[in-house]
A and B are shown apart, each in its own frame.
Chain A
């Protein structure tokens, strides 16, 4: 589902069904923030408070859901089918969250009205997106970055992207692929920053690798820069919301259903997210002010943990 959740939940202390969703590198930064990117308040806004909020509400909703057993089994089963998103991130809790997203998407499928399962799907994707974006960052930050609130004149300024370099060895597969897909690092940076700069509401900008599958082997198609809005994820299996919209669209007699059928059954592609940037206003407002999105994004670029990003490259490929 891509629509925003507008329901406000009352917080209640309850016995938790869900594990804590932690990022190892960020565990002890709650009071410090990330040097050259977030103050402690900013980091709380964008990660700790967000994760707590999602987890608490998920806890409550999971108990209300009709498909409670199916949904909870994602966290109870010991053996785990890895689901559609490849996560080289070894965090077990995130793999399970991923499983929850798939299950929730399946149970939402076909239901016409907005149910608790939709809400669960929204919250779990939100949590997943934030986890993914935050774990792409270098917890050490970047000393040369400056965190400040620029004034309105910032909107008119241009920032030349020349001599961009990242901390990957020259023969790294990711770097080679970036160069063949986008031309150069500068072009990737420009595209990433322009894409996330253009998002007006909440959303994430992703660097995605598209693989075609055959005989359990993956062949790289290309790298893409994609935006997701509100609680959307860039996974190919979780197209519940889009499908609902499509059904409504077809009901009005707008399109032929063949396309949707093909789209739904086509399982020969695999989207692998490599990097996510949080472009939502709450991610930069407290530290960079109203006009500081560009400065924020430049700082994020300097704080990306490229070895982590490279490690997300699937092993089957």
Chain B
């Protein structure tokens, strides 16, 4: 439906009609509407979008409450940069042994918290803590404090102890499995492998059907081409 603008310029149109003699007499509302003209444009217009849609930048939904430390001029009010030697050791260890990050880890809250139990780092292995790079860090600090070694010597010592325990644990893993197999245990596929198997069955079925259909389509196309050739 066409947008109706007529109601708003009623005064203008009536004046024109009066001038040209279409209407002889002024309507009763003429002076009233003349003194109080309709000011609202009744047509609905689409709101103009302020944002540039081609270069859209999302606005942050939260406000920054923290003051940028660089803008604070007085040093006293600046937050301290926290530096721990543990962080450096941890970074060094995981930089040298990136695959140690791939070890399965329990991500339950507090599960890896070394302060849950009072741990004695006179040995690198702990009863209550999973064995990982953190052991090397803590053991290094223990060696520095108790055996009067320099930090790099202590780190090397802890590192070699780590290797040793790791080798032992890996041997234990594989040999336990071997021993169980020799005693007659049979390890069936895992839930993940089972899932893959089921998926593969469907994919195989699909592939078979797809091949049939492709063949059918190709035959059809060939048939049509032959017909066209025959007709010409």
Contacts and interface: CB of A to CB of B under 8 A. Distances in A.
B178 interface: yes
Contacts of A160: 160-161, 164
B176 interface: yes
A229 B160 contact: no
A227 B179 CA distance: 9
B114 interface: no
Given A156-B126, A194-B171, A229 B161 contact: no
Interface residues of B, number: 21
A24 interface: no
Contacts of A185: none
B161 A197 contact: no
Nearest to B126: A156
Given A2-B182, A156-B123, A194 B167 contact: yes
A245 B123 contact: no
Interface string B157-182: 00011001101100110111011001
Interface in B26-66: none
Contacts of A159: 164
A158 interface: yes
B89 interface: no
B196 interface: no
22 contacts: A2-B182, A3-B183, A3-B184, A155-B125, A158-B124, A158-B164, A159-B164, A160-B161, A161-B164, A190-B164, A194-B171, A195-B171, A197-B171, A198-B168, A198-B172, A198-B176, A199-B175, A199-B179, A201-B179, A201-B183, A203-B179, A229-B183
B164 A227 contact: no
A190 B183 contact: no
Given A158-B164, A194-B171, A245-B184, A200 B124 contact: no
Interface of B: 123-127, 160-161, 164-165, 167-168, 171-172, 174-176, 178-179, 182-184
B172 A158 contact: no
Interface in A151-188: 153, 155-161
A158 B176 CA distance: 21
A157 B171 contact: no
The SS class assigned to the B binding surface is helix
Contact of B161 (A2, A158, A194, A200): A158
B160 A156 contact: no
Nearest to A153: B123
A158 to B, nearest CB: 5
Contacts, number: 59
Of B124, B125, B183, the most chain A CB neighbours within 10 A belong to: B183
A232 B178 CA distance: 13
A200 B126 contact: no
A169 B184 CA distance: 43
A244 to B, nearest CB: 11
Contacts of B183: 2-3, 201, 229-230
A3 B184 CA distance: 9
A2 B184 CA distance: 9
A158 B171 contact: no
Contacts of B126: 156
A156 B127 contact: yes
Contacts of A191: 171
Contacts of B125: 155-158
A157 B178 contact: no
A194 B176 contact: no
A153 B120 CA distance: 11
Contacts of A158: 123-125, 161, 164-165
B30 to A, nearest CB: 103
Given A198-B174, A198-B176, A227-B178, 7 more contacts: A156-B127, A158-B161, A158-B164, A190-B167, A197-B168, A200-B176, A229-B183
